[in-house]
Amino acid sequence: MRGTGLELPRATVGVSRWRRFRAAVDWPLILTVIALCAVGLLNLYSATRGTRHHAKFDTQVKWMVFGAIGFVVATTIDYRALVRLAWIGLGTAIVLLVVVRLIGEDAHGKGSYRWLNIFGMGIQPSELAKLMMILALAQLFQEGDLSRTPPLVLVAKGLALALPIGLIAIQPDLGSAVLFGLVVITVGFLVMQSVWPMVHLTLGSLLSIPILWETMHDYQKNRILAFLDPSSDPTGNGWHTRQSIFAVGSGKIWGKGYGEGTQNQFDFLPEHWTDFPYSVWAEEWGFVGSVFLLAIFTFLLVWILNVALSARDRMGAVICVGVAALTFWHVVVNIAMVLGLAPVVGVTLPFVSYGGSSLVVFLCAMGFVANVSLRKHGY
């Protein structure tokens, strides 16, 4: 039984390179990603049209083109070559994170430094770090047995993975830091020979929560408190969550109709195009549309894991697991936040949220998966 559900040519002799390439390209993956991007654009159009934010649609399309190029590049260059550069890439990301700490822009006026201005484009180094982390994890786990690696090197690599988490946490961008950690732990659980190191790591992280709480900024604490009791501060921190729940709920089964969502059209959800696009979608398309969008994401995740299972080597499989974990946690945390099940953190919904960094990173990540998929037959 073929793992891909796609009939691939057995005999490659006599078939042109182009046709072999075309047959090896992972079309279901590409179509799924295109579908998600289309949903994202459709949703963004509804969310921003007729407002002073309408230019965001054009910007997003530009980023999408940019991301598409990234996808092609990430697919074309052999992932084995990419992984060789993983630690350099992660090092670069760490340097950028330090730089952003020093000269970055305080976009929200809350003492949070997340953005770096390069050639007039706002770039989030934390997003780049996510991408590099996946490659680094692939490099780390390419050999099943870690005991063959010298312990000192292992410690150095472990620190290199932990460092971005710390740097992101002090930006402060707690959401991304937690997400980063979740991805590392998930990948560890899925690809390490023994689960115990990861169990210890998880327990350790949980135990450090009280220490973390003490070092958190007040606004972060307030957000978490507001999540635990949204009615405590209905116009302040609880506002986003309340309004988001109202928006989702008011969609009922079939939704209010495209462009008819009163919650998003009349600005009850501030900045809804970045962190709350799912709420806009749920209001306008209802339960049916909400489940449909979740189903597309589910299919994407299943497909990426399928590629992981059919990868030609361990390295490729770990890349896919990393991408799947990143996507899964982004989707789950973002939607949980929209549905009032998680505190408000700046975690985007892949392909749907407005924002260049996130879009390009996810398109590149999907490029890695297509890369692994393309090369599973030794092409």
Host H or E run for residue 278: helix 277-309
Q: Compare residues 124 and 373 and give the one whose CB is closer to another protein.
A: 373
172 vs 286 by CB, closer to another protein: 286
The site for another protein, by CB under 8 A, has a size of 65
**Cβ count within 10 A of residue 105:** 13
Cα distance between residue 303 and residue 29, in whole Å: 7
Contacts of 128 (CB under 8 A, 6+ apart): 92, 93, 96, 357, 361
Contact pick of 3, 9, 111, 158 for another protein (by CB under 8 A)? 3
Order of strands across the sheet that contains 121-123 = 105-106, 113-118, 121-123
Taking the C-alpha atoms of residue 71 and residue 362, their distance in angstroms, rounded to an integer, is: 9
- Tell whether the torsion through CA atoms of 217, 222, 227 and 229 is positive or negative: positive
* Per CB under 8 A, 228 contacts another protein: no
Contact between 261 and 247 under an 8 Å Cβ cutoff? The reply is yes
Minimal distance in Å, beta carbon 366 to another protein? 17
CB closer to another protein, 74 vs 300: 300
Tell me which of 74, 167, 178, 282 binds another protein, using CB under 8 A. Answer: 282
Q: Does 301 bind another protein (CB under 8 A)?
A: yes
Confirm or reject binding of residue 219 to another protein (CB under 8 A). Answer: no
Among 25, 68, 85, 294, interactor with another protein by CB under 8 A: 294
Taking CB under 8 A as the rule, does residue 319 contact another protein?
no
Our CB check for another protein shows the closer of 37 and 190 to be: 190
Q: Is 232 in the site for another protein (CB under 8 A)?
A: no
Q: Which of 29, 36, 93, 318 binds another protein (CB under 8 A)?
A: 318
* Distance between CA atoms of residues 175 and 274, nearest Å: 14
Q: How far apart are CA 275 and CA 348, in angstroms?
A: 5
Q: Which is nearer to another protein, 66 or 379 (CB)?
A: 379
Binding interface with another protein (CB under 8 A): 1-5, 8, 144, 189-193, 195, 235-236, 239, 245-253, 262-263, 265-268, 270, 282-283, 286-287, 290-291, 294, 298, 301-303, 305-306, 308-314, 316-318, 321, 328, 332, 335-336, 339, 341, 376-378
